[in-house]
Amino acid sequence: MQERMGNPALVLPAAMQALNALSKVPTETGLSPKLLELVNLRASQINGCSVCIDGHWRIARKHGETDERLFAVAGWRDAPYYSNAERAALALTEAITRLSDRADPVPDDIWDEATRHYDGKSLAALVVAIANINVWNRLNVATRQVAGQWKP
């Protein structure tokens, strides 16, 4: 597959600056980089973004994430490797990423479970992180960016 054009965030430097600034907010709020990379990986799997799937496991490994947890993230519901807080974040990630899959895209049970594990500021940061990876996924998929060219 050949890319259609350069990544729009690279073509428009102001977009890159904005997305990079947005990506720093969740960690500055205190969310674990390992959690954020699991979220990034799961959303990217759902969206079929090969660039982000290829890149975010690498970043997760740099933060000390294990292969076992990385390999099982698509099956997080049945895998024993995740905490209840991580499960809540992954459920929220799936709901926010799949907005058109159900009449109530983010059902109360998913939201309420997330609020049991994350305070208002952390939950806001998690939603921002999920939104941001979805932007990157859409930019990469729409323009057919090639996996392997970005090596974080």
CATH number reported for the structural domain that contains residue 109 in this entry: 1.20.1290.10
Compute CA distances 88 → 20, 81, 99, whole Å.
25, 13, 17
Domain-embedded: residue 83: yes
CA dihedral 120, 123, 124, 130 (to 10 degrees): 180
Write out pLDDT tens, residues 29-52: 999 999 999 999 999 999 999 999
pLDDT of residue 152: 86
Domain-embedded: residue 72: yes
Domain-embedded: residue 102: yes
Write out pLDDT tens, residues 127-136: 999 999 999 9
Domain-embedded: residue 151: no
As a whole number, mean pLDDT of residues 76-82 equals 98
pLDDT at 150 over 90: no
Q: Which domain holds residue 122?
A: 33-143
The structure's pTM equals 0.95
Domain-embedded: residue 21: no
Domain-embedded: residue 128: yes
Domain-embedded: residue 150: no
Domain-embedded: residue 99: yes
Number of structural domains found in the chain: 1
Nearest to 105 by CA among 134, 69, 72: 134
62 Cα distance to chain centroid: 16
Q: Using the structure block, give the residue that is written with the tokens 């740099």.
A: 62
